[in-house]
Amino acid sequence: MSSMKYPYRDLGVPFDRNFRNDLNANFDDIEADIKEVQNDLNAKDSAAHARMTQIENDSIERDNDLDARIDNIVANTGSSNTEIVDARYDSINNVTHPTLKDRLDDTSNKIGILSTADDVLFQNDRSIFLEIDKYKKLRFQQGVATITGVNSNGYFRDNEPFVQVTLTGYAQINAPNYAVVIDVISSNGDYGQLIVYDKTQNGFKVKMTGSASSVTFMWTLLNPLVA
């Protein structure tokens, strides 16, 4: 895979325009790498299927040839013992089987083994694709949440309103070492600041310091250092 984009750009620490541009470029590179891996896996899977089909066709052709020779032996019982001996010999693997049935059973077993190997190859290819998808989702997640204000006497309130954001899918195993970027979508009043805190593997909290009755925002989780 000579055209793989990995390794990707170093995002650095500041969440500025360069950070977002590099992040978007990294996502494009990751997507391109996923497609290249998938195309490579599809090519290997097609080659494996073609090889198995060829082997099966060759085996069927050899079996049909043996069946024809057996039919001829049965039709000429007593005069074709040399043909039976000849049919027990596997010239490909240089093996002489005790009986003709052993020879046919051995061929059938090999076809079964090839079919099983093809199933294993397919499962391995699928596992690789799922692992790449997991790696991508660990580094980047996005969603929308709303904080609803709490009642107050106009001057004080018992606590600052917050919302619990639960992450779906894969846990952030290096929590709390990930970043969350907040972009306000709409608000009913002055929302003050939106502060992210209590970051865990499965979610985080966002609190509002202002007096708005509600605020809706988009959150973006960035975890470029997750392994």
Taking only the tens of pLDDT, the chain with its 227 residues reads: 457 666 666 766 676 777 777 777 777 777 777 877 778 778 888 888 888 888 888 888 877 777 766 655 554 544 456 766 777 777 777 878 777 777 777 777 777 776 676 666 666 667 776 667 777 777 788 899 999 987 665 555 667 899 999 998 778 888 898 889 999 999 999 999 999 999 999 999 999 999 899 999 999 888 877 66
Residues 214 and 144 reside in one and the same domain: yes
Burial status of residue 29 (CB atoms within 10 A of its CB: 0-12, 13-18, 19 or more):
middle
Residues 107 and 163 reside in one and the same domain: no
Task: Report which secondary-structure segment, H or E, holds 143.
Answer: strand 140-148
Residues 6+ apart with CB under 8 A from 160: 150, 207, 208, 209
Residues 128 and 174 reside in one and the same domain: no
Q: Please check whether residue 46 lies inside any domain of the structure.
A: yes
Question: How many other β-carbons are positioned within 10 Å of the β-carbon of residue 82?
Answer: 9
Residues 39 and 90 reside in one and the same domain: yes
Q: Choose one of 108, 136, 164: the last residue of a domain.
A: 136
Rounded to 5 degrees, φ, ψ at 59 are -65, -40
Q: Please check whether residue 215 lies inside any domain of the structure.
A: yes
Q: Please check whether residue 13 lies inside any domain of the structure.
A: no
Rounded to 10 degrees, what is the CA torsion of 163, 206, 170, 30?
A: 130
Residues 217 and 125 reside in one and the same domain: no
Residues 75 and 148 reside in one and the same domain: no
Question: How many other β-carbons are positioned within 10 Å of the β-carbon of residue 88?
Answer: 18
Q: Rounded to whole angstroms, how far apart are CA atoms 113 and 37?
A: 27
pTM > 0.85? no
Q: Which domain holds residue 165?
A: 140-222
Residues 125 and 44 reside in one and the same domain: yes
Rounded to 5 degrees, φ, ψ at 177 are -85, 55
Q: Please check whether residue 8 lies inside any domain of the structure.
A: no
Q: Please check whether residue 130 lies inside any domain of the structure.
A: yes
Task: Give yes or no for a contact between 122 and 44, defined as CB atoms under 8 angstroms apart.
Answer: no
DSSP state at residue 116: H
Q: Choose one of 71, 106, 136: the last residue of a domain.
A: 136
Residues 40 and 123 reside in one and the same domain: yes
